[in-house]
Amino acid sequence: MSRSALVGNVTTMLEDAGFAVSDRCAIRPKSFDIAARRGDDVVLLKVLANIDAFDGYTGAEMRRLGEYLEATPLVIGLRTRNEDLKPGVVYFRHGVPVLSPDTAMDLFIEEVPPLIYAAPGGLYVNIDGDLLSDVRSDREWSLGKLANELGVSRRTVSKYEDGMNASVDVAAELEEIFDRPLASPVSVLEGAEEVREETDDPDEPEADPDDAHLITVLTRVGFEVHPTSRAPFKAISEDEGSDRKVLTGHSEFNRTAEKRARIMSSVGEVTRTRSVYVVERARQDSVEGTALIEREEMERIDDAEELENIIRERAEVEA
């Protein structure tokens, strides 16, 4: 299956699950392919046939964008170099959860979260330690008794009850012994933080030198500017006086800029953010909801509220 067809299938699946889905980010370089929202759940999705193509730089960018846009970065893929991804298992690449299409279907359509995750050494589950302690006490078994049944140390059983993960085999044996499920689902839409390997917070990239003047202006009027390197927008700008965010682009206004502005508008609609594209000369007020502002006009803006009013008015004129 081609990657384009795979992206199409994932988009259809999300729409069937009740998500609003953005246009595909059909530009390069790109850290994610689509954004999607259902209620308060927002995801930024990268779709790959072989997940080994997902590099650390892209992973860091997706995690940054997820933080700024209050979204979960997520990869959906078919295989690694060595094997197909197993259904019902959460994998990780560079701190980002990775699912097979079948696992994503269970999560989004059936609303059945995965129980198993891959980590160095094999496949694991997150045991509900409080529940394990309760069922052991109900049966009046000591830590030592359960340890003997499992063939592990008393200390290991104590760690399970304190929240340590367990191999799939041990989890299955525990559930057979007590005749009830004891595994906690992996909270994929919260970034699977409870089982994810420790990953250093990614540093922001250096801003493009061509954007330095724009960043200076945005900072002066009261925005905190987060540069991006592989997104369809140059930065995410946060109004320091509120929780409002603006997707920000900057270049000469040409066909590529117009395409980026359309994608920004679509992503902004899903993530509930405004978008603005700063150009040298503008022939129109906006592109499908992304406001166009000429550089000289931008330099005359005094504060964040004035800029936000201009963006809103130009977006509403087109709507």
Q: In the predicted model, is pLDDT for residue 41 greater than 60?
A: yes
Instruction: Give the pLDDT confidence of 68-125 residue by residue, as tens digits.
Output: 999 999 999 999 988 999 999 999 999 999 999 999 999 999 999 999 999 988 999 9
Cβ atoms of 138 and 177 within 8 Å: the answer is no
CB neighbours (10 Å) of residue 302? 10
Reported pTM: 0.91
Query: What SS3 state is found at 5?
Result: helix
| pLDDT given for residue 32 in this prediction | 97
| pLDDT given for residue 317 in this prediction | 61
Q: Which residue is it, tokens 């399970």?
A: 160
Q: In the predicted model, is pLDDT for residue 202 greater than 70?
A: no
What are the structural domains of the chain? 3-114 (3.40.1350), 123-184 (1.10.260.40), 209-318 (3.40.1350)
Is the omega angle on the peptide bond into residue 73 within 30 degrees of 0, that is, cis?
Answer: no
| pLDDT given for residue 224 in this prediction | 93
Q: In the predicted model, is pLDDT for residue 20 greater than 70?
A: yes
Q: What is the DSSP code (8-state) at residue 211? A: G
Contacts 24+ apart (CB under 8 A), 203-208: 203/60, 204/64, 205/61, 205/229, 207/235, 208/234
Cβ atoms of 228 and 234 within 8 Å: the answer is yes
Instruction: Give the pLDDT confidence of 242-266 residue by residue, as tens digits.
Output: 778 999 999 999 999 999 999 999 9
The closest of 219, 206, 210, 313 to 252, measured between CA atoms, is: 210
Instruction: Give the pLDDT confidence of 288-305 residue by residue, as tens digits.
Output: 999 999 999 999 998 889
Q: Compute the half-sphere exposure of residue 225: CA atoms within 13 Å on the CB side of its CA.
A: 23
| pLDDT given for residue 163 in this prediction | 85
Task: Show Cβ contacts of residue 297 under 8 Å, excluding neighbours closer than 6 positions.
Answer: none
First to last CA, the chain: 37
Instruction: Give the pLDDT confidence of 220-245 residue by residue, as tens digits.
Output: 999 999 999 899 999 999 987 777 89
Widest Cα–Cα separation across the chain: 78
- φ, ψ of residue 31 to 5 degrees: the values are -90, -25
Q: Write the CA distances from 291 to 107, 247, 274, 296, integer angstroms.
A: 36, 10, 9, 15
Instruction: Give the pLDDT confidence of 270-294 residue by residue, as tens digits.
Output: 999 999 999 999 889 999 999 999 9
